[in-house]
Chains A and B, each alone.
Chain A
Amino acid sequence: MSDTLRIENIELPDGGAELRLGGRLTLAAGAAAWDQLRNRCASTASEVRRIDLSALELVDGAGAAELLSLRARRSMAGRPLELVGASEETGQLLDLYGCPNDHTCLKEAPPSPTALEEVGKATVGLLENARDVLDEVGALVSATARAIRRPRSVNWREIPQLMERAGADGVPIIALINFLVGLIIALQAADQLKRYGANVFLADLVGLTMTRELAALMTAIIVAGRSGAAYAAELGTMRVNEEIDALRSLGLDAQRFLVMPRVIALAAVAPLLTLLGMVLGCLGGLVVAMTSLELTPAIYWGELQRAINLLDITEGLTKSVLFAITIVFISCQRGLGTRGGAAGVGRSTTSAVVAILFSLIVLDAIASTLFNSVRNG
């Protein structure tokens, strides 16, 4: 008994051709059988009019689906194809999978949005102008992601979308918060500095605090509130709905399938957001420098350049990646560990955010200490 599909080509007297199938047409026969069948249909010199199934040893549901979709495609193209000689069992299976008419055998195009929806979306898009900034980056990243996406590791596919949600959508709030933090630090320091005539050092103070420390931390806190909470709730809901079990029953692992894409997405997006935070923090400082310390932008900018070196920026960015991984890790673990319905999801989300904030501060202290010793040693 043969394990594969055999195809025999028979010329019909009226000019067409018939394919006589033998062996097995099953899911287990894999792509080879599928390709073979399609190629033979496409490549015979005379038009294939009939497929004879009488010599097939076994057809399963997948095989039946393929035969029917083949027939549907042909008939939609105006070149009808007959399936003949099916055994009783195969016939029943074909009936079971049969479609009322041909186009129902083929995938429907996803519904396109109505005009009203388009207008609505465009309006919202205009209002949220700020996020266009990172949309460019997002497009670039999603292109890269598409390139490295292999057919089997489905989860690559989720990364661009995750990056957009965590990155582009978070830009306005992260920009605003960092700007205000820079402004607040500057305000607090301005009086003291003026008293000693050390006005220009405002740039050092704001610049260093923002790059080394606060841009990464403030950004991480926002990301924890936005994405961390979302991941915990999302995975928690999936756990409660038995979706995690369902994944497992399909041979897919929640860690690889759900957690990895989130780690990659957040670790890629967090440094970009942090960089943005650094710039806006310094701008916040500049506003105070100009309004209450009579510094010009040129002086402020020159002093910033003198004060900040690459190591400071590296420190901030390293922390941001570290924070991102921590956020994903804690939120996903809390989410996956959810017990007990909707209330459980709420509990996981709360506990994820609290645990993340605590860990961020502790990690920040450790990382700062390390970088300080690098700087001094």
Chain B
Amino acid sequence: MAEERTGTQERGTPVVGEAGLPDTDQKILVRARDLAIGYGRKVIQQSLDFEIRTGAIFAILGGSGCGKSTLLRTLIGMQPPLEGEVEIAGVESLPPPLDTPPPFGVSFQSGALFGSRTLLENVALPLEKWTDLDQRAVEAIALARLRLVGLGGYENYLPAEISGGMQKRAGIARALALEPRLLFLDEPSAGLDPVTSVELDELLKTLNRNLGVTVVLVTHELDSIFRIATRCIMLEKGARGIVALGDPRELRDASDDPRVRRFFNRLPSSA
């Protein structure tokens, strides 16, 4: 279902979202080949081989500090791989180009809102830059995105005036601004209360089901993983490679790797 939608992009005129991604008749949207990630000479993970299919909700799992954010940043081209390569829709992933709309939406672990702008202005910024819509339409869309993440009524607040969880949600609203077909989210539900976190899951599921959005997310929330992820990859600090890859439910029920069992059963590593 979702996959049928993503191949429709034949317009020459502006703009965004759909036009941002090259034609994706390919079933594989993101591919990592023999990837090594890290900083300078410091290798954090290596030999990462996996692919993310169009229409998937793909979770990156693992303990704190194992390199999930680093992997995400490498996938979106913000950080060069130490080895190997990342392809998005068949094209090498480089820092997002400046002359075309960004091909995907990203929300960062810290929220990364622009501190001198109100929430509305934060979300409106990409729309102002990349669409020809007038101020009123831009505001209507930005406002709707804020409402979508439960921030209706906060549009005139500055990031410093709202809580961490709210900042995170505003960051997600901004990532959604341009109607991306591919979303990268770094711990979207960290810092959210259980109810809001379930709502966020529902939101992602709806975007995925109704608009064919492919979602790649880093998360620690077991409930959330089982609720929405169709596939997951598990990393471990110092393991230097994929610990497990597959459907999270199957991994939970069938894997006999102790590290996987530990993660899914919430056991401390000494157990």
Chain A interfacial positions (CB closer than 8 Å to B): 1, 3, 26-28, 30-31, 34, 58, 60-62, 64-66, 68-69, 89, 92-93, 96-97, 99-100, 104-108, 110-111, 151-152, 154, 237-238, 241-243, 245-253, 256
Contact = CB atoms under 8 A, between A and B. Distances in A.
B85 interface: no
Contacts of A58: 5
A105 B125 CA distance: 19
Given A1-B8, A28-B179, A58-B5, A246 B106 contact: yes
Interface of B: 5, 8, 10-11, 13-19, 73, 76, 78, 95-98, 100-102, 104-106, 108-115, 118, 120, 125-126, 128-134, 137, 139-141, 143-145, 147-148, 152-153, 155-156, 171, 174-179, 203, 206-207, 209-211
Contacts of A250: 96, 102, 125-126, 129, 174, 177-178
Contacts, number: 168
A93 B179 CA distance: 13
Contacts of B95: 248
Contacts of A246: 106, 108, 112-114, 171, 174
Contacts of B13: 30
Given A30-B13, A31-B134, A92-B210, A252 B73 contact: no
8 contacts: A28-B16, A30-B14, A65-B141, A66-B141, A99-B147, A154-B125, A246-B106, A250-B96
Contact of A245 (B112, B130, B203): B112
Contacts of B101: 251
A26 B179 contact: yes
Contact of B211 (A60, A106, A251): A60
Given A96-B203, A242-B108, A31 B133 contact: yes
A253 B129 CA distance: 12
A66 B108 contact: no
Interface residue SS majority, chain B:
loop
Contacts of A26: 17-18, 179
Given A28-B179, A89-B210, A93-B210, A65 B143 contact: yes
Given A27-B179, A108-B153, A251 B96 contact: yes
Contacts of B96: 248-251
Contacts of B134: 31, 34
Contacts of B126: 250-252
Contacts of A99: 147, 152
A-B pairs with the 5 shortest C-beta distances? A65-B144, A69-B140, A242-B112, A246-B112, A249-B106
A89 B212 CA distance: 11
A108 B11 CA distance: 35
A256 B129 CA distance: 13
A65 B140 contact: yes
A234 B134 CA distance: 30
B249 to A, nearest CB: 24
A34 B137 contact: yes
Contacts of A66: 137, 140-141
Contacts of B131: 27, 30-31
Given A31-B134, A69-B143, A243-B115, A96 B206 contact: yes
Given A66-B141, A110-B156, A251-B100, A245 B73 contact: yes
Nearest to A60: B179
A87 B137 CA distance: 23
